[in-house]
Amino acid sequence: MTKLHEMTRLREMAERNGPLCVGLDTDPSYLPEAALRREPSPAAAVAAYNQKILARLGNAAACCKVQIAYYEALGLEGLRAYRDTLRAVKAAGLPVIADVKRGDIADTARAYARAHFSGDFEADCITVNPYMGFDTLAPFLEWARSESGGKGVFVLLATSNAGKADIECQRLASGGTVLDLVGAELVRLSAPDSPLGAVVGCTDETDARRLRDACRDLFFLIPGYGAQGGAAQIAATLLDRAGGVVNSSRGILCAWKTDSRLSGKAAAGTLTLDDLADSAAEAAFAAKKDLLAAKALPAQRTGNDRVS
């Protein structure tokens, strides 16, 4: 029997727990000064906060996404916290997506695959950047498809920033846009139960419908919901067809800042990581509810069953 790869496990978790992906993009600046001071170091505080959130998530989330940049910014100690956070997510029984957006060629891409699919920084799924060409994807997909590897790969398709207009949305002489071209290649590379997925930001309803219909068998990792300004309704469109997971990072990590019950402690400088994690978990359950409610509305599908 072939081992399930992690993209399949992720789909199953989303089916079971709903589509929320908790983004542990934990920058020390998200924590109150006083709580930071009580920990041995900013990196240690980040790892401890992540742990406390994980302990409270229950069935709020399908998975976690960890943005490596915030850990890299803290140097070696930060990467120790990154390793410990990946392990803590797995220990909590959740799939972990490493948001690394690596992209390079040949031996270098193979080294990145080894870096993020094995050893200290082993994740279940990773994000990759296709800019240098589709040969950059091959080493990751090879690893993902191998029985011993069994990992998942999310390729950047449509990001959630304004700058996506600069390259991703450029119209090609051959028709369509750069991101349509990437989408078509991902469709070509994928198959039902593929280890391949796509990153599609929830920032535009029309794009969302078009991409969802064009890549109907691809599972989506959906940033841009919550603090980044995306809406649950657009996320729901992207959750149609093969489905996906919707990431929320700051909306959860910084929920304590708008938690009126904590304002007294915040003013007195007595907020603990446990207080913050209580707010974070509550925000996660609220986000899950919001997403499930939006998803329950009937999907507005286009007539065309496969547009590219």
Question: What residues act catalytically?
Answer: 101
Is residue 95 within 8 Å of 154, Cβ to Cβ? Answer: no
Nearer to a copy of itself, 13 or 254 (CB): 254
User: Which of the ranges 141-149, 161-169, 209-217, 275-283 carries the binding residues for a copy of itself, by CB under 8 A?
Assistant: 161-169
Binding a copy of itself by CB under 8 A: which of 173, 267, 268, 296?
Answer: 173
Parallel/antiparallel/unpaired status of strands 96-102 and 152-158: unpaired
Nearer to a copy of itself, 132 or 299 (CB): 132
Binding flag, residue 129, a copy of itself (CB under 8 A): yes
Question: How far from 184 is each of 25, 52, 118, 142, CA to CA, in Å?
Answer: 30, 41, 30, 19
Question: How far from 42 is each of 22, 49, 79, 113, 266, CA to CA, in Å?
Answer: 21, 10, 12, 28, 19
Binding flag, residue 132, a copy of itself (CB under 8 A): yes
Distance CA 36, CA 42 (A): 6
Closest approach of a copy of itself to the CB of residue 149, in Å: 14
Binding a copy of itself by CB under 8 A: which of 65, 151, 164, 288?
Answer: 164
Binding flag, residue 105, a copy of itself (CB under 8 A): yes
Question: How far from 96 is each of 9, 63, 66, 67, 210, CA to CA, in Å?
Answer: 11, 6, 7, 11, 28
Nearer to a copy of itself, 220 or 285 (CB): 220
Binding flag, residue 76, a copy of itself (CB under 8 A): yes
Q: Please tell me what DSSP assigns to residue 95.
A: -
Distance CA 158, CA 164 (A): 7
Binding flag, residue 282, a copy of itself (CB under 8 A): no
Binding flag, residue 56, a copy of itself (CB under 8 A): no
Binding flag, residue 91, a copy of itself (CB under 8 A): no
CA dihedral 59, 61, 64, 67 (to 10 degrees): -140
Nearer to a copy of itself, 174 or 260 (CB): 174
Question: By CB under 8 A, what part of segment 200-239 binds a copy of itself?
Answer: none
Closest approach of a copy of itself to the CB of residue 11, in Å: 26
Residue 231: phi and psi, rounded to 5, are -120, 155
Distance CA 181, CA 186 (A): 9
Provide the binding-site residues for a copy of itself, judged by CB under 8 A.
Answer: 25, 27, 67, 69-70, 72-76, 79-80, 83, 101-109, 111-112, 114-116, 119-121, 129-136, 156, 159-168, 170-174, 178, 181-182, 185
